[in-house]
Amino acid sequence: MKKKLFLLLFIFILVNKVPAQWQNIWSSGSIDGTFASGWFSFEKSGDIWLSRLYTTDSVSFHVCSTGFSITPEYTYNFTAGEKAAGYQFYSLGYDLTGDGKVEFYTI
C-alpha cells in the first residue's frame, strides 16, 4: 500500500508543474573572483541610508551604481603607500560633507 502511494505521489509531482517559490528581481554577470565585494550604506535619502554594492581588489575600490548594478559609479585607485600599508580603508558611516554620501578614508 505504501509503495503504491509513494509511486502515485512521485508520478503526481512529475506530471504537475510546480511554480517557483521565488522570482528573481535582478540578474547580472558574475563578479570577478579576484574582487572582494559586499553591501554598505552609502547614500542618504531622507532619514534612511540606501545600500550600494562595492567591489575592491589590489588596485582599486569601486562603488557600484544604484540598485543591483555591478557597473562602477565611483572608483578610487590605491596609491603606492596605501598598497604598502595593506589597502586599509574605512568609513565612519556618516555624511561629513553634507553631500548625502558617506565618506571613506584610507590609512
Q: Where are the domains of the chain?
A: 34-107
Q: For residues 36 and 64, what is the distance between their CA atoms, to the nearest angstrom?
A: 13
22 pLDDT above the threshold of 80: no
pLDDT number for residue 27: 67
More confident residue, 33 or 27: 33
What is the residue whose three cell numbers read 570577478?
A: 32
More confident residue, 52 or 34: 52
26 pLDDT band, cuts 50/70/90, is low
Q: For residues 26 and 61, what is the distance between their CA atoms, to the nearest angstrom?
A: 23
What is the residue whose three cell numbers read 578610487?
A: 76
107 pLDDT above the threshold of 70: no
Please report the sign of the dihedral spanned by the C-alpha atoms of residue 105, residue 48, residue 45, residue 70: positive
pLDDT digits 0-9 by tens, 42-94: 888 888 888 899 998 888 889 999 888 888 999 989 888 888 878 777 777 77
12 pLDDT above the threshold of 80: no
Q: What is the pTM of this model?
A: 0.63
H or E segment and range at residue 51: strand 48-56
